[in-house]
Chains A and B, each alone.
Chain A
Amino acid sequence: MRVVIPGISGLLGRMVAEALVAKGHEVIGIDRRAWRNAPDGVEMHDVDIRKRAAEDVFRKRRPDAVVHMATVTHLFEAPTEERYRINLGGTRAVFDYAHAHGIAHVIFVGRHTYYGAGPDAPLYHPEDDPPMAVSTFPELADLVAADLYAGTALWRYPDLTTTVLRMAYTLGPTGHGTLAAFLRGRRVPAVLGFDPLFQFLHESDVASAICLALDRRPRGVFNVAGPQPVPLSVLARATGRSTLPLPEFVFAKLLGRFGLPRLPPGALSHIKHPVVVDASAFRAATGFVHEADEVRCMEEFRAAFPPPLPR
């Protein structure tokens, strides 16, 4: 199979590419960021996904499938116009090219934070729950919009098999992802009187879930999760950190200082309340089984990123 991966140079993109090459597939990467030491069998194109040169890759190379990972998801700064352009314009471009050049399958890799966190949100969201993140965490609006836009391909391009994946947080030895960044310091900020569940899966399981989706081509929108969620207090303890519970009004003021991570204001609801998804539909459609349990995810992260010593 020939697979195009926009956003290949991100950690998950590289892991998916390596897994595909190992299985004998041909991988074509599109990314403005370089991937040095890309394995043989990966053809790299240093172009912007929204530009003509990117469409040429689709037209000339005629891939069998596309894994769209070229979304900007890190949340440590407020979304800029540029981020909107990449996340929305880029997603549109990927589906337009795929449709124009008769590609059979597109996978959009989204995030489970789509559902948002709030006091009245249920645990274990099914895929048809509305995207409350637009109100609980407005800084995620472009990602929610990209997810919904990708979903419109299901009716706009019925000949194209579209798979929208809503991935839980990743946690593992590479320290990649929003959750790992949140846990990086010695103290993990928490809101006093709240201890929400966090749902994560090992980065190697993320890669294998995407490969499995390529293989099985399930059509539709799917939550992807692995082990059971754990509370923030357990997450901090098991990764060798301690929580620093702050009253809510102090919390917002102290972020970004004293070695605490910087977070946009909307993140507060996601530190008070859980986002937990029901991933049974994806398991049923693909047979996905996670390999790493929650203990292994946290211990491998801890081994690779021991808590920094006090200054």
Chain B
Amino acid sequence: MSLFIDDEVRERLERLEIPFNRYGVDPYGISKSHLARFYSALKLFYRHYFSVSVNGLEHVPPRGRAMLVGNHSGGVALDGAMVIASLFFDAEPPRLAQGMAEKFINRFPFASLWSNKLGHFTGLPETAIRLLEDDRCLLVFPEGSRGTAKLYGERHSLVQFGSGFVRLALRTGAPIVPFAFVGGGEAIPTILNSYALGKLVGVPYVPVTPWGVALPLPVALCIEYGEPMHFSGTGAEDDEVIAVHVDEVKSRIAALIDRGRRRRSGELVTTEGGAR
């Protein structure tokens, strides 16, 4: 295993604040050796293939429960992967961001194994609550699979947000750290989504790019983190109350997308510590 493991990854893994046992497994089954292989491969994309600029990482709490809430951009989980990479390679101390996986993932061999070993469990409310109460950092895309289905022309837009994430934040008292991910739509310009093909293989849809499959182009990507948002309540509020909070978060993310686009076009100069 050690052959393909990057030295920086090894060093940062040791500083990850996850309670691994003697076998390198945490109580949820997250595996240190799988993380090592994943981050080593991810580093190539994060540092070399794409040029990723990361801003506002200081808004992510270094420890304690938190929810990173952002937009989907790009037909596959490129956005999630880059956010996970930024928290591991550029946050101090490194943090593990745990995504909430789509339900179909656990049905597939290997996809199930890897998503579970890397801490991205099926997005069930009870799992999210447990992880937050355990002071983990959750990565949430309230647009869900509607968001990854955005076509090229819709790449900077936001589709309908689910409201469950706000209830989770209220119930667990976790701060919401809004973020924008810009550039995924250029990396993977989806021209259409094949729902028929998706049905055939058992996933919601399969994104199709001008060159067929969803292999990303080496473009400039930008992650823009915003200040944490704290809401108070119990999580049992009426839908109208929750909808107000959802809109607040959504408009913060829209503003961050704007900021990211201006930064990406060179209009806004990166002053904070971006990706090395």
Enumerate chain A interface residues (CB-CB to B < 8 A).
119-120, 122-124, 126, 191-197, 228-231, 234, 238, 247-248, 272-274, 294-295
Rounded to whole angstroms, the CA-CA distance of A229 and B22 in the bound complex is 12
- Residues on A with beta carbons closer than 8 Å to the beta carbon of B23: 230, 234, 238
Which residues of chain B come closer than 8 Å to A294, judged between CB atoms? Answer: 21
Min distance, Cβ B24 to any Cβ of chain A, angstroms: 9
Knowing A192-B109, A194-B113, A294-B21 touch, does A229 contact B127 (C-beta < 8 A)?
A: no
Q: Which residues of A contact B112 (CB under 8 A)?
A: 119, 193-194, 272-273
Within 8 A of A (CB), among B146-200: none
Partner of A195 from B22, B26, B117, B127 at Cβ < 8 Å: B117
* 14 A-B pairs whose Cβ atoms sit less than 8 Å apart in the complex: A122-B124, A122-B126, A192-B109, A194-B113, A196-B29, A228-B25, A228-B26, A229-B27, A231-B29, A231-B31, A234-B23, A272-B112, A273-B106, A274-B29
Minimal Cβ-Cβ distance residue in A for B34:
A195
Contact: B28 with A123, CB < 8 Å? yes
Q: Which residues of A contact B26 (CB under 8 A)?
A: 228
With CB as the reference atom, state the residue of chain A lying closest to B108.
A193
Q: Within 8 Å of chain A (Cβ to Cβ): is B276?
A: no
8 Å CB contact of A120 from B28, B111, B113, B124: B124
Q: Which residues of A contact B116 (CB under 8 A)?
A: 195
Complex: how many Å from CA A181 to CA B268?
64
A123-B28, A123-B130 known; 19 new pairs, CB 8 Å cut-off, are: A119-B106, A119-B107, A120-B103, A120-B106, A120-B122, A122-B126, A122-B127, A123-B29, A126-B126, A193-B110, A193-B111, A194-B109, A194-B113, A195-B113, A228-B25, A230-B23, A230-B25, A247-B109, A248-B109
Q: How distant is the Cα of A196 from the Cα of B117 in the complex, in angstroms?
A: 10
What residues of chain B have their CB less than 8 Å away from a CB belonging to chain A? 21-23, 25-29, 31, 103, 106-113, 116-117, 121-122, 124, 126-127, 130
CA distance A228 to B28 in the complex (A): 8
Q: Which residues of B contact A229 (CB under 8 A)?
A: 27, 29
Q: How far is the CA of A124 from the CA of B121 in the complex (A)?
A: 12
- Residues of B within 8 Å of A120, CB to CB, are 103, 106, 122, 124
A193 contacts B29, C-beta separation under 8 Å: no
Q: What residues on A are CB-neighbors of B107 within 8 Å?
A: 119
| B109→A191 contact, CB < 8 A | yes
With A119-B103, A122-B124, A123-B127 in contact, is A231–B25 under 8 Å at CB?
A: yes
Closest-CB distance, A129 to chain B (whole angstroms)? 9
Q: Give A268 Cβ to nearest chain B Cβ, in Å.
A: 13
Q: Which residue of A lies closest to B112 (CB)?
A: A194
C-alpha spacing A124/B25, complex, angstroms: 16
